[in-house]
Amino acid sequence: MILFTKRDGVLTCLFLSRTFHEEEKIDEVVVPLPAFKATDKSSIADNPDDKKRHEIEVSLILKYSPFKCLKDLFAQFDKIKGPSGTLVIIYNMKLLDNGEAELDVFSDSRDVILTHPDLGENAGMDIDVE
């Protein structure tokens, strides 16, 4: 999943990827979250450590997301009309044994639900699994 937000002149990109975690052999949740000035798309980081972190986060997003260059990445912010808003892109979803996507994005237009493989025609219901 990759989330793009625009607010108060700042562009922020949040990236969450199972592939990234598996290939980098990371066993804790690491979420790259670079932020840019909307005016010139430069980093909002103001010290060397934060600038280095920003560079690493951007390089990870370009390596593991569908957006392989900055031009394509920044084009997503342009899809957000107006001075503020959010764009969420869910891609490369894992398929269950029955061929259905792991996440149900159709049953509820305002929510993403885990698909339960044993529910058959009721797949996509929001259930508690322990």
CA-CA distance, 122 to 4, in Å (whole number)?
A: 32
120 pLDDT band, cuts 50/70/90, is very low
Nearest residue to 38 via CA among 88, 71, 78, 67:
78
- pLDDT recorded at residue 97: 84
- pLDDT recorded at residue 111: 82
Q: pLDDT exceeding 70 applies to what percent of the chain?
A: 88
Tens of pLDDT, residue by residue over 55-97, are 999 999 999 999 999 999 999 999 999 999 999 998 887 778 8
pTM: 0.77
CA-CA distance, 121 to 107, in Å (whole number)?
A: 12
Please name every residue paired with 37 in a beta bridge, in sequence order, or none if there are none: 10
- Cβ contacts of 99 within 8 Å, gap of 6 or more: none
